Amino acid sequence: MLPNFPFQRSTAKCTSYIHTANERRLGEVIGTNVAGKLHTGRSRNDQIATDMRMWLRDELDLIEEHLVDLLKVIAQRAKQDIDYIMPSYTHLQRAQPVRWSHWLLSYATAFQSDLERLRFTKKNINKLPLGSGAVAGNAFGIDRMQMAKELGFEGLIMNSMSAVGDRDFVVEVLQCASTIGSHLSRWSEDLIIYSTLEFSYIKLADAYTTGSSLMPQKKNSDSLELLRGKSGRIFGAMTGLMMSIKGIPSTYNKDLQESVQPMLDTVKTLKDGLQIAARLLATATIYPDKMRAALSPDMLATDLAEYLVRKGKLVLYIRSFITSLLLISAQVYHSVRRTTWRARWSHLPKMRIKGWTNSLSSSFKVLTRGLATTC
């Protein structure tokens, strides 16, 4: 194993590339006759590609750990909060009653798919380009399989031109990160909505919120908003890199240097985001009473229709009747929920009551005709 030695400031100043600095400093420690052989059969082109793959391999291990931690927190909360019932939403309108755990696990399913893609991406990255030289390989009979084994790679990139000119592995990481970022963004958006006073299903811990500089009553979900916003940064990095490399000729070109900055930034952004998401959810407070209060009888329309189907009833004709009945019951429910039935009913406008009656009567006639036709 090579000794651990610090770089001298003078060495760093007169060296343009880290690989040359490595060789020069190694020569100062063990002698130039040996250190000079370090570059044998190698080029900056294949060395840089190797460095990037090794760095990404380690960083993807950390991202995988953070993603697994988030999945564990989701599973723990889903088990802990299994009895909480809330409205589900389609088109952001209340649809059917579901468990809060069902909503949590819907995102667990998405993150599980992300985890599988991440592991597949990591496997693709773990192939060694070293030994490809600048573009046409090397003439020294270097045992590349032995190098791959010592550096922890699972295979070789056999074509030297592809090895030095390929940044698809970076694009693949950014695409995988973009999908994770998209799911984090949608998850954050849901929680932002659920944490508003209009919903009040969830309350974030103070560590993940901020106040207003002017309005003392405000508690802003800044952490979720930043998670949502950072996803756009990840998308931009992916798109920018693809635009940079789409038109370059084969093998190595200096344009490929533009792959480093978006790679570094995206990895850091994603690692931070996953850790924040896990801690935010673990410390959040849920209000099941608020969730239950948002439920109403009309949300059981589908359940009632399916019950009648299972009983062998004629659903085509009873559907409009059931819908009208439930909508009317919901309107009455919302009209009287804040006071007593008798006091509120006496103040309902007669035209509204007449409209409900006419709607129900019309639907009942349709139902009667349908039954008479089919019986």
* Six-digit token string for 117: 């893609």
Give me the pLDDT at residue 205, please. Answer: 96
Q: In terms of domains, do 96 and 145 share one?
A: yes
Q: In terms of domains, do 51 and 116 share one?
A: yes
The residue range of the domain holding 12 is 1-39
Quick one: CA torsion of 95, 96, 102, 104, rounded to 10 degrees?
A: 30
Q: In terms of domains, do 191 and 204 share one?
A: yes
Mean pLDDT of 237-244: 96
Q: In terms of domains, do 108 and 223 share one?
A: yes
How far is the CA of 354 from the CAs of 348, 358, 359, 367, in angstroms? 11, 6, 9, 20
The string of pLDDT tens digits covering residues 177-187 is: 999 999 999 99
Mean pLDDT of 74-78: 98
Residue 368 has pLDDT above 70, yes or no: no
* CATH number for position 108: 1.20.200.10
Mean pLDDT of 275-298: 96
Give me the pLDDT at residue 5, please. Answer: 46
Confidence grade of residue 307 (pLDDT, cut at 50, 70, 90)? confident
Give me the pLDDT at residue 12, please. Answer: 45
Which of 265, 293, 321 marks a domain boundary? 293
The string of pLDDT tens digits covering residues 141-159 is: 889 999 999 999 999 999 9
Which of 238, 260, 293 marks a domain boundary? 293
Which of 245, 272, 293 marks a domain boundary? 293
Provide the number of structural domains found in the chain: 3
Mean pLDDT of 241-256: 94
Task: Report, as residue numbers or ranges, the catalytic residues.
Answer: 91, 212
Q: In terms of domains, do 130 and 17 share one?
A: no
Name the pTM for this structure: 0.80
Q: In terms of domains, do 279 and 302 share one?
A: no
Give me the pLDDT at residue 17, please. Answer: 72
Residue 176 has pLDDT above 60, yes or no: yes
Q: In terms of domains, do 156 and 243 share one?
A: yes
Q: In terms of domains, do 136 and 250 share one?
A: yes
Confidence grade of residue 88 (pLDDT, cut at 50, 70, 90)? very high
Q: In terms of domains, do 51 and 67 share one?
A: yes
